[in-house]
Chains A and B, each alone.
Chain A
Amino acid sequence: MTRRLIVLASLVALLLAAAIAELALGAVKVPPGEVLDILFGSGKTGPNHQIVESLRLPRTVEALVVGAALGVAGAILQGALANPLASPDVIGVTGGAGFGAILIIVLFPEKIALLPIGALVFGLLAAALVFVFAWTGRNRGSIAKVVLAGIAMLSLFTAGTTGLLAAFPEKAPSAIFFLAGGLTSSGWESLDTTWPYFLAGAVLVVFLIRPLDRLALGDDVAASLGSRPQLIRFGAAVAAALLAAASAAIAGLLAFLGLVVPHVVRMAGRTSSQTFVVPASALGGAALLAGGDTLARTVRAPIELPVGPFMVILGVPVFLWLLRRAL
């Protein structure tokens, strides 16, 4: 118990540090005191005020929300599918979102504001198709069927994305940022569109935590305890699809986060209990994405780089260190 509390406390500290760095650092130097004044409503109006209030603050909130959502989506999928390789990729969301975004970039470049909607719609569509194939016919809802349907859908949409980029290579530079995963300073607009999906996913997750712990004992034991394994699995997939599609709409494809963060917190906390793994993954995911985004914005400032590679740089050493100790 003490270990879990220490891990949670460390994650909270990391999250705060990452959020402060995200707010304080950027292409334009704003003194930390002024950042605080602006955040607490006493700063002078002017460019710095606009930079902190309209650019950095929404971006920090986006990083925290998306990081937490992807961490949680990975945690519940790995729990529901009893598969350590499960992530939002496995239910087709990432592939669908990528295809939807590239479709907008290629076919409707003048309507670029629709990109998050395209990613969201196709991410959810891909997940819905996985659900249709995985939860109908023989052995419906079985782990193997969900995973295989997900991989098939991921392949299908990834092929569509690659095909579009091959047919319209001149659009590739605009697409790379989305495919590599990156936050943009678009104010509150993206969150305005996606918050209902984050909320619905989060509420579902809250109700799934205990059933997922029972499911970890095996389908038969869970059923004997009154749980319905297929329904739990379906609920977890729907929640993960909502969280991951909304995340992709804001930050592009960041599959790594959903895959690795739950493993890191499990190894650090030495438990697979979802009552610990889900909130810890939310904190870890949020900290990792906010930290990675700070690096992506500042390493080559004023050029902003995609955050995906930075999260890998930050996350993999920790992951490998824990892996070495755990196995």
Chain B
Amino acid sequence: MPKARKSRLAVALPLLAAALCLWVASAAGAATPKRIVALTPFAANTLVKLGAPPVAIGQTVGGNERFAPQLKGVTVLPLAHPNGPNLEQLVSLRPDLVLSTKTWAKGNQAMQNLGIRVVTREPVRVNGVISKTLAIGRLVGKLPEAKQLVAKMKEGLGKARQGITKRPSVMVILGVGHSPFTFLPNSWGGDLVRKAGAEVLAGGLNSGSGFQRISDEVVIAEDPEILIVVPHGEPEDVPAITRYFENDPAWGATKAAKEGHIYISTNNSLLQAGTDVGKTIEEVRKKYLHNWPG
């Protein structure tokens, strides 16, 4: 190769490489969303942990979502059927990404029609927390941070599942008014309690939604050693729902009632996917299953 051509190449190649790097960086920068709206506590809390806090968070009407303290003061979008957030309010925030859930399928469609990028990244089971955290990290340009967070989560999960001393039979009940629904093993709460070492009873029922209306007769027939009740309703109604299920005479014949093992979970940790999954499993084991060593 002639010397002059060689030197031209020597100049051109680094320039080309630099231009390519700049283009890739600017493309990545353009694609990285800055104004993110998180409609679920999992997405909101994950974004906080990744260092990409959302500009607004969703809150169901009368809901008791578990948000990280860092989200205090962030704009709250009340969520209600059928769309989820009020679309006018959402548009006024000029979001370039909305992390939503399938619950708001109709609203998601409407948001997309408005040109808003909508992504659903909500874990429905415990293992999903890992993949969804990585997915959110990738979406917001924080993959290294997501990997670090996942490593911590895995460590926490591993610790939380060590030394299970017994595997009691458990029914997890969602109390909607006076109507009991059972958490199925494919629900967040059902899977979490199973991971905590319980044998989750569901009377042979199944449903894609993870919940099924259950008759008290099935509760008696299954005769669980432990009953965990998650009261669901407006905050002011929760105490009454709690009292009703704590004293439900229909359950009096179960081992759980006889041995005083009917527990109430009011912090939504069994209802909503959380980033603190290891801590939640540890809590379930210590408070309800009593299978934590020592």
Where the two chains meet, the residues of A that have a C-beta atom closer than 8 Å to any C-beta of B are 26-28, 46-48, 50-51, 54-56, 109-110, 112-113, 115, 168-171, 173-174, 176-178, 182, 184-187, 189, 301-304
Contact = CB atoms under 8 A, between A and B. Distances in A.
A10 to B, nearest CB: 31
A201 B176 CA distance: 43
Contacts of A176: 81
Contacts of B178: none
Given A47-B92, A47-B94, A176-B81, 5 more contacts: A55-B88, A109-B105, A185-B87, A187-B110, A302-B86
30 contacts: A27-B86, A28-B88, A28-B92, A47-B91, A47-B94, A51-B88, A55-B88, A55-B91, A109-B102, A112-B105, A112-B106, A113-B106, A115-B106, A169-B181, A170-B207, A170-B209, A170-B213, A174-B81, A177-B81, A177-B82, A184-B82, A185-B110, A186-B109, A302-B77, A302-B78, A302-B89, A303-B78, A303-B86, A304-B80, A304-B83
B179 interface: yes
Interface residues of B, number: 30
A54 B86 CA distance: 14
B211 interface: yes
Interface string B177-189: 0010100000000
A168 to B, nearest CB: 8
A170 B207 CA distance: 11
Given A112-B106, A173-B81, A304 B113 contact: no
B61 interface: yes
A216 B88 CA distance: 47
Contacts of A302: 77-78, 85-86, 88-89
Contacts of A182: 82
Nearest to A26: B88
A303 B61 contact: yes
Contacts of A110: 102, 105
B91 A50 contact: yes
Query: Which among A50, A113, A115, A301 has the highest number of chain B CB atoms within 10 Å?
Result: A50
Given A173-B81, A174-B82, A176-B81, A55 B87 contact: yes
B114 interface: yes
Interface string B107-144: 00110011000000000000000000000000000000
A186 B84 CA distance: 13
A173 B104 CA distance: 11
A65 B80 CA distance: 25
Contacts, number: 86
A301 B109 CA distance: 21
Interface in B200-217: 207, 209, 211, 213
3 shortest interchain CB distances as A-B pairs: A302-B86, A112-B105, A28-B88
Nearest to A56: B88
A26 B89 CA distance: 9
B206 to A, nearest CB: 13
Contacts of A50: 91, 114
Nearest to A176: B81
B114 A54 contact: yes
B92 A112 contact: no
Interface in B53-87: 61, 77-78, 80-83, 85-87
A74 B81 CA distance: 29
Contacts of B207: 170
Nearest to B107: A184
Nearest to A167: B213
A304 B94 CA distance: 20
Most buried by A among B87, B91, B209: B87
A18 to B, nearest CB: 18
B88 to A, nearest CB: 4
B91 A51 contact: yes
Interface in B211-265: 211, 213
Given A27-B88, A55-B91, A109-B102, A184 B110 contact: yes
Nearest to B181: A170
A6 B85 CA distance: 42
Contacts of B78: 302-303
Contacts of B114: 50, 54-55, 187
A123 B168 CA distance: 51
B113 A186 contact: yes
A304 B86 contact: yes
A94 to B, nearest CB: 19
